Structure 1
Amino acid sequence: MTISTGNSYLDSLSNSASASTTATKSNSTIDQAGFLKLLTTQMTMQDPTAPMDNNQMVQQMATFSQVAGTTQMNTTLSSMADNIAASRFGSASNWVGHAALVQSDIAAAASNGAFAGEITLPDAASDVKLTLLDSSGQIVHQSDLGAHDAGAVNWSWDGKDANGNAVAGPVQMLVSAPAATGTGSVTATNAAWTEIASVQSPVSGTTKLVTALGSFAPSDIQAVS
């Protein structure tokens, strides 16, 4: 790596030192001690009849000060990032045991066996109907939620079929929503409530909330209960 300081003699010393260490170091760098050593060598070996220009020396020192300041700033920012990550983990860990609303067409049973979710309508619908299917595609529950304006439609089910038997789940949500005006239907967006079991926060990567529906980033959570 060639280091240019604006002074030919200092450049030759710097580049000579860099070349001699290439065989032992994969990343050739110069720190403050190395820079001062080069500067001292330059001053002791310079021609007395042609001393080093003071302006050049000041410029070189100023350049190194800028590099040192940038290095220190990067170290500080890295430390701040670590602190933010730790704080983020602490905040997310407080959600363990709570229920989170996440976008999903699949719903999982809560600890009490019940299911719940939210249907979002972009336009008004004349009659919203919810159908829940088990893993084999069999209908386990149907709800007629009636007419609704655009917005959120909440639903819940105790998790028991027509015979009173508990359905383990998970279940798939199907929504039928004819448009309130004109013909056609409204395309709804589904979300489900799921309990947060734990939090994953790797050294490198994003914090994840672990649920029965999978792992989600905190930013994916629409609401917490």
Structure 2
Amino acid sequence: MTTVDTSNTTSGTASKSTVSQVSMGQTDFLALLTAQLQTQDPFNPVDNTDLVAQMATISNTSGIAEMNQSMSAIASSISTMQNLMQSSRLGDAASWIGHAMLVESDQAAPNAAGDYSGQVTLAEAGDDVTISLVDGDGNTVKTIDLGAREEGDVSFYWDGYDDDGNYVAGDTYQVKVTGADTSSIATWASIAAVQSPADSSMSKLITPLGTFYPEDAIKLL
């Protein structure tokens, strides 16, 4: 009677099955990694450390041998991809130059035309709401009467001229609201330049009111 040893056959089949599962696991992970990098926020990219931690977690929980061998190659590729993303972020932020952004600030600066504008959010209704623009010495340069206003956002504007038609503005002024409590004050600021840090962190937008992140913009014109 002839006896057939099936141990090698079974082992070989199991080995092929394991390799197939490993290959599928690695393929799936690479697909997910690529999708994550492609869909990340260009102004707030995924940190390299977080990506490496994700790879290490998958390797530890799945026990994928081939994944471990590919780890260093993937990590080096991430650095290259993030450098490309930084170039893209700089290009996106640079397109904001010349525009104006509404940012949360109680300081108002003139735009290129010399105008002042912003938005206050009233926490309650008021019968006689006024906005005052005050200089560094505490002097009120302009008072804007808004009258009766409901709770919510209220826009304001000043062309910089006094009642006699003289342009008297030009500086940065503090915005003060009377007649109702406010939950926030925001003003429009012109975007003059983009600051891109050498460490590949998020780009900053330079305005007369200071530097802001793109995500600080409430609105953009």
TM-score of the superposed pair, with normalisation by structure 1:
0.64
Amino acid at match of 2:81: M
Asked if the contact 2:120–2:182 (Cα under 8 Å) also holds between the matched residues in 1, the reply is no
Residues of 1 paired with 2:64 and 2:214: CA distance? 43
Aligned-residue offset at 1:72: 1.8
Change (3 A) 1:141 1:74: same
**Alignment: residue pair count:** 157
Q: Do 1:135 and 1:169's aligned partners in 2 also have CA atoms closer than 8 Å?
A: no
CA RMSD of aligned residues (A): 1.9
Local SS of the residue matching 2:138: coil
CA distance in 2, matches of 1:100, 1:123: 26
Take 1:149 and 1:85, find their aligned partners in 2: how far apart are those partners? 44
Q: What residue ranges of structure 1 are gaps of 5+ in the alignment?
A: 1-61, 179-185
In structure 2, what is the Cα distance between the partners aligned to 1:87 and 1:149? 43
Within 5 A, what are the aligned runs for 1:1-225? 65-163=66-164, 164-178=166-180, 186-204=181-199, 205-225=201-221
Contact kept? 1:175, 1:188, Cα under 8 Å:
no
Quote the residue 2:3 is aligned against: none
Structure-2 change in CA distance of 1:153 and 1:63 (3 Å): closer
The normalised TM-score by structure 2 is 0.65
- Structure 1: which 4+ aligned runs deviate by more than 4 Å? none
Q: Which has the higher helix share?
A: 2
Q: Any gaps of 5 or more consecutive residues in structure 2?
A: 1-62
Distance 1:112 1:78, change over 3 A: same
Judge conservation of contact 1:132–1:174 (CA < 8 Å) in 2.
yes
